[in-house]
């Protein structure tokens, strides 16, 4: 039995004919007689060239910020589908058509190739499905348009050589090592206009933020790492806020103020203000 070479459909009539390379002007289709039945753009390798070129450009630029796993799934899945559609599917159809013309049955090689073709198709579909599971899309950007006004921070002096152990309350929470007083920080006023306050830690160490009541008692509300900020917290004008280091030694205190409508008081914990106390 004479083994046939690669066969591709004629670009004019669609008949499956032998492919002898890019057609020259003198070559014609034996079925319809059309000149140049196979051109460069119909060559099976052309879609793959564009595919790999596009994948390389997209992978280098990565305009959507996809992870490597996400890009692998979409590129690999697309390649499997392209391979099936442009190569395996036409070859399988040609084998099946030839087998049925010869003895009206489908031979084993055609069945095996069909299984391989369907397997490649399934792998491509699963990879595309994995892409949709792992792709989160570009991260949404939120812009904070909240108006802020600066609050005055008052540094609290303490002995830097003090290595006293932290103090804890009944719930094992760290409490300030000093009490409200003339040489430390004032107690809060009884009441005032409602407002909000937000803290930003620019110190080289972690800090704790406490709310002070009118009796001088401290309530631990926040823990800020270096260069970390807090969300706006409810307060009132005249309320004292105490900032300590990790062990509860005082660093700053702020007194909440009422700004314009909708404004949030910004309490920035700055090392320059603290070192120059």
Mean pLDDT of the chain: 81
Enter the tokens of residue 85: 């559609």
Q: Report which DSSP code applies to 28.
A: B
Mean pLDDT of 76-91: 86
How far apart (Å, rounded) are the C-alpha atoms in residues 185 and 179?
8
Is pLDDT at 31 greater than 90 in this prediction? Answer: no
Q: Report which DSSP code applies to 26.
A: T
Q: Name residue 250's beta-bridge partners.
A: 244
Residue with the bigger pLDDT between 29 and 230: it is 230
Q: Where are the domains of the chain?
A: 7-134, 148-275
25-39, 75-89, 102-116, 192-206: the lowest-pLDDT one: 25-39
How far apart (Å, rounded) are the C-alpha atoms in residues 17 and 9?
6
Closest alpha carbon to 109 in 124, 6, 117, 123: 117
CATH architecture of 148-275: Sandwich (2.60)
The confidence score (pLDDT) of residue 34 equals 65
How far apart (Å, rounded) are the C-alpha atoms in residues 116 and 131?
23
83 contacts: CB under 8 Å, gap ≥ 6: 120, 124
The confidence score (pLDDT) of residue 56 equals 92
Element (H, E) at 21: none
The confidence score (pLDDT) of residue 6 equals 60
Q: Which of 97-101, 176-180, 239-243 has the highest mean pLDDT?
A: 239-243
Q: How many whole angstroms from its chain centre is CA 79?
A: 24
3-class DSSP state for residue 134? helix
Contact 155, 277 (CB under 8 A): yes
Is pLDDT at 102 greater than 90 in this prediction? Answer: no
Model confidence band, residue 75 (pLDDT cutoffs 50, 70, 90): very high
CA-to-CA dists, residue 266 to 201, 224, 269, 270, angstroms? 11, 15, 10, 12
How far apart (Å, rounded) are the C-alpha atoms in residues 171 and 196?
27
Contact 7, 17 (CB under 8 A): yes
Model confidence band, residue 63 (pLDDT cutoffs 50, 70, 90): confident
The confidence score (pLDDT) of residue 160 equals 53
Q: What is the pLDDT of residues 126-162, one digit of tens each?
A: 999 988 888 776 667 767 788 999 999 999 876 655 5
Closest alpha carbon to 243 in 270, 265, 275: 270
Mean pLDDT of 23-28: 59
The confidence score (pLDDT) of residue 212 equals 94
């Amino acid at each position: 039995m004479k083994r046939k070479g690669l066969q591709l459909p004629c670009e004019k009539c669609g008949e499956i004919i032998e492919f002898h390379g890019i057609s020259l002007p003198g070559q014609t289709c034996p079925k319809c007689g059309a000149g140049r039945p196979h051109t460069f753009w119909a060559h099976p390798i052309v879609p793959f060239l564009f595919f790999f070129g596009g994948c390389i450009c997209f992978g280098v630029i990565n305009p959507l910020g996809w992870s490597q796993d996400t890009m692998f799934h979409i590129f690999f899945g697309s390649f499997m589908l392209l391979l099936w559609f442009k190569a395996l599917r036409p070859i399988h159809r040609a084998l099946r058509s030839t087998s049925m013309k010869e003895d009206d049955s489908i031979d084993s090689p055609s069945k095996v190739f069909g299984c391989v073709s369907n397997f490649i198709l399934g792998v491509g579909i699963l990879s595309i499905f994995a892409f949709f599971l792992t792709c989160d899309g570009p991260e949404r950007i939120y812009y904070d348009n909240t108006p802020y006004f600066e609050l005055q921070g008052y540094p609290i002096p303490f002995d830097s050589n003090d290595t006293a152990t932290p103090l804890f309350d009944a719930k094992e929470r760290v409490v300030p090592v000093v009490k409200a007083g003339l040489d430390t920080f004032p107690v809060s006023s009884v009441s005032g206009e409602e407002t909000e306050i937000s803290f930003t830690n620019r110190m080289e160490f972690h800090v704790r933020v406490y709310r002070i009541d009118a009796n001088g008692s401290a309530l631990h509300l926040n823990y800020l790492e270096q260069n970390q900020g807090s969300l706006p917290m409810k307060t009132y004008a005249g309320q004292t806020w105490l900032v300590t280091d990790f062990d509860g030694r005082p660093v700053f205190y702020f007194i909440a103020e009422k700004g314009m409508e909708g404004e949030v008081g910004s309490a920035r914990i700055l090392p320059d203000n603290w070192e120059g106390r």
